[in-house]
Structure 1
Amino acid sequence: SKTKAVKSAFKMSLLANSMQEMKRVLKPLGAQVSQPKIHQKYKYGNSDTNFFDKIVPILMGFFVFFFVFLISGMALLNERTSGTLNRLLATPVKRSEIVFGYMLSYGVLAILQTLLVVLFTVWMLKVEVVGSIFYVILINFVLALVALAFGILMSTFAKSEFQMMQFIPLIIVPQIFFSGIIPLDTMAKGVQAISYVLPLKYAGDALSGIVMSGDGFIKILPEIGILLLFLVILTILNIQGLKKYRKV
């Protein structure tokens, strides 16, 4: 952040001034003062690592969330507008069975899409992963399920594909600003509070920790738990949302 950068620059300035003062004092004594050698050891990456490398884990989660949300929402909306959902609701099938059926079928596609995004990012873009690639896939898969449930829920409020598209700039895109690309400690307290109700924030924290710090399962367990809580809440809301079309 800017505060840390200022502190670091201030410390380096004090160190430089101290060295100059020491040289001035020791010069009359004929003592030789050598400039200290600074060795840098990188916790992640190397001297060529840039800002893009830092945000890649967050963007990985964002694209998984975005595509799964869009595909699941559009698919269910098309089934509703075409009358397929109404015919399904005319059968004795329970609302919960309908929701779980959609999540199971589209969940398979979410898995494939998650694998495609993660493997492309890691191998094609040559992203260094300090931790386990399995945990990266796990977090993205749980996030994809959350996006799936979220997309189904939003489709119940949309009457057309155009309205569904309007949810993207209103709900999806703003999440990227609270996912860690912009440091939260630079935001106002009230704005920071918004991030705690957004799933992408927790996924971004977990992915950044795995990729850049090598966090293990225990370290990312709180984020996984919160994402699963999002999934449960959204699934319950989806079941209740079908009451608009049929009461069983």
Structure 2
Amino acid sequence: PIRRSEIIMGYLIGYGGFAIIQTVLTVVFTITVFKIHLVGSIWLAFLTNLLLALVALTLGIFISTFANSEFQMIQFIPLIVVPQIFFAGLVPVDGMASWLQAIAHIMPLYYGANALTAVVTKGAGLGDIGVNLLILVGFMVVLTMLNIVGMKRYRKV
């Protein structure tokens, strides 16, 4: 017998390895090919990107728990992923309506983008972005717990 939590952890470990590889490739490619100048630490940029990748992974697993097919999974993208893009700094959050600013604060990409922007452009240290990183870890833990509960309720294992 295998527990549902072990299935979720297996997914996270398996796909988490790919997330680490993808994060390393993305950061190295950005710095070497695009010649992006980092004011801050490359390790903090890597850590922030890694946390974003792991939050995206747990969010993807959570969404897939409720999807019955690949087509249904694709239908969730405009509802979940696209709104986050607007709260990542592409459009200044400060200029949005107050209700949109409140929504921005419940999106993980908002915190990741703030931390990454602070490291890359302002040279922020771990103390400066620590709250944002802890919030990302919190998203990851909460989504992992929701994955386990969702699998118990919506999937027969």
RMSD (Å), alpha carbons: 1.0
Map residues 128-167 of structure 1 onto 2, 5 A cutoff: 128-167=37-76
For structure 2, which runs of at least 5 residues remain unmatched after alignment?
A: none
Establish whether residue 123 from structure 1 lines up as the match of residue 62 from structure 2: no
1:215 aligned to 2:124? yes
Amino acid at match of 1:117: T
Tell me what 2:155 maps to: 245
Which of 72, 76, 85 aligns to 1:176? It is: 85
1:246, distance to aligned residue in structure 2 (A): 3.6
| Counterpart AA for 1:225 | L
- Quick one: distance in 1 between partners of 2:71 and 2:151? 21
Deviation per residue, 1:176-211 (Å, 9 max, x gap):
111112111111111110001100000000000000
> Counterpart in 2 of 1:196?
105
TM-score of the pair, normalised by structure 1: 0.61
* Residue 108 (1) aligns with residue 108 (2): no
The answer to which structure, 1 or 2, has the higher relative contact order (CA under 8 A, 6+ apart) is: 2
Q: Name which of 231, 235, 239 aligns with 2:140.
A: 231
**Where do 4+ consecutive residues of structure 1 move more than 4 Å?**
none
Q: Could you tell me which amino acid in structure 1 is paired with residue 155 of structure 2?
A: Y
Cα distance in 2 between the residues matched to 1:210 and 1:168: 28
Instruction: Kindly indicate whether the alpha-carbon contact (under 8 Å) linking 2:65 and 2:155 is maintained by their aligned counterparts in 1.
Output: no
8 Å contact kept, 2:111–2:136: yes
Q: Residue 40 of structure 2 contacts residue 122 of structure 2 at CA under 8 Å; is this kept in 1?
A: yes
Identity of aligned residues (%): 52
Tell me the number of residue pairs that the alignment of Structure 1 and Structure 2 aligns: 156
Shift of 1:161: 1.0
Between structures 1 and 2, the one with greater helix share: 2
Mapped to 2, the partners of 1:235 and 1:164 lie a distance apart of 18
Q: 1:156 aligns to what SS in structure 2?
A: helix
Structure 1 unaligned regions, length at least 5: 1-91
